[in-house]
Amino acid sequence: MNVTVSHRETCRLCNSANVERVVALKPIPLSEGYTDDPDSARAAPRYPVDVYMCADCGHVQHLDVIDAKNLWNSYTYYSGEAKGMPEHFRQMADKILAAVSPPDGALVIDIGSNDGSLLLPFKERGFRVLGVDPATEVARRANERGVETFCDLMSYGLAEKIREEYGPAHAICAFNVFAHADDLGEMVDCVRTMLAPDGLFFFEAQYLLDIIDGVLIASIFHEHMSHHSVKPLIQFLDRHGLELIAVERAPIQHGSLIGTVQLKGGARPVEQSVHDLVALEDRRELDKLSTLRAFDAKVAQLRDGASRLVERWRADGKTVAAYGAARSGPTLLAQLGLRDAIEFIVDDHPQKVGKYSSGDGIPILPTAELLERMPEYTVILAWVHSAKIIESNQEYLERGGHFVVLCPETRVVGKDGDVRI
């Protein structure tokens, strides 16, 4: 695979060249790569994931950009398969319809539509739906399910074509992709082009404040090019002829923002929720370089804690495994210096079992191997599911195993709860 990586010199939201590196991290491999043999897995190249802040608008972002085709063409996560997600999408569709009140047969567009799971509930209610997603396999599955999907990246040309052929959209969604676009200006220009005068645009993205409070370094990988907060977004949307009118904090991915946007000068008032979050961000000084530097110091503390554990495990000859070949896994292993300590990773994903983790060459085994091999410590890489993993592996704990949770602080959990470290 020919990966193109480029370094931006300017802020993704306001084009200022006044950007500073605030969190220095170790380069990591592209996180979706699982390979058949350990040598080529270990040879996987690593790319920078340092975090920068714009000193002018306060936007926190990555400036090392992997070409989107490399990130998304072979993407194989099906959002409709994740537990609880179909129900989440149905509720989301209800909320969107309540906010928009679209006419019968109105058009709903989803950017980064994956397997069409968010659009299905709209289709079932008689609306016209259209998905856009560059990942070949997931777009094919969406079309098979009857959700018409362009297998492409959102671009201005495509937006104009959609507007011409399908008419304006009353609802446009960009859940989970809003943080992924390098050219976010083009994405919102596409939205403005496709949106009906009384339509609404909805986006979801991880919230910077939650990343900072939870020390969620596992969320920092190449796909997440922006770590959004409300204040920089308001100015950015305004420059692109759009207006943020409501914002909600949701527990998705340990803390996300769901924003509602109308065309600038639209009929709806800006809700109190926007003013409240701006006030909170001011109080927390979220747009200050010093806040991000304090986050960097917390990351360093986690790294120190993890390296002390690794030293002790080595000295005592303990066996250590990891749980969950999640996309955040390579980040945690690399940033916390854990990869040499881990003998194997357990995960039941059929496309990962029997393969080797990218960059580290660690074998991926089915979760049943945890009880077979009984490693003394198992580091949870699928950090989103830590509580669930601990709860559903009580037998492993009963038999003397320990789970290690890495964020927001290092915890070792045994059969009687937390163990002092």
Interaction site with Zn ion (CB under 5 A): 11, 13-14, 16, 54, 56-57, 59
> Kind of pairing, strands 344-346 and 149-150?
unpaired
Structure letter (DSSP) for residue 409: S
What's the half-sphere exposure (Cβ side, CA atoms, 13 Å) at 382?
A: 17
Q: Residues of 264-296 as b/e, b for ≥16 C-beta within 10 angstroms? A: eebeeeeeebbeebbeebeeeebbeeebbeebe
Between 12 and 303, name the residue whose CB sits nearer to Zn ion: 12
Tokens at residue 87, please? 């129900």
CB of 13 to Zn ion, least distance (A): 5
Tokens at residue 283, please? 């109080």
What's the half-sphere exposure (Cβ side, CA atoms, 13 Å) at 216?
A: 23
Between 22 and 147, name the residue whose CB sits nearer to Zn ion: 22
Between 38 and 185, name the residue whose CB sits nearer to Zn ion: 185
CB of 63 to Zn ion, least distance (A): 11
What's the half-sphere exposure (Cβ side, CA atoms, 13 Å) at 43?
A: 7
Between 57 and 187, name the residue whose CB sits nearer to Zn ion: 57
Per the listing, tokens 């580091």 go with 379
Between 22 and 380, name the residue whose CB sits nearer to Zn ion: 22
Structure letter (DSSP) for residue 182: S
CB of 341 to Zn ion, least distance (A): 39
Between 56 and 213, name the residue whose CB sits nearer to Zn ion: 56
Between 34 and 203, name the residue whose CB sits nearer to Zn ion: 203
- Say if CB 308 and CB 278 are below 8 A apart: no
Structure letter (DSSP) for residue 177: T
> Kind of pairing, strands 128-132 and 149-150?
parallel
Give the CA angle between residues 56, 62, 64 to the nearest 5°.
120
Give the CA angle between residues 291, 251, 68 to the nearest 5°.
75
Cα 295 off chain centre by: 19
Between 11 and 22, name the residue whose CB sits nearer to Zn ion: 11
Report d(CA 147, CA 140) in Å as an integer: 10
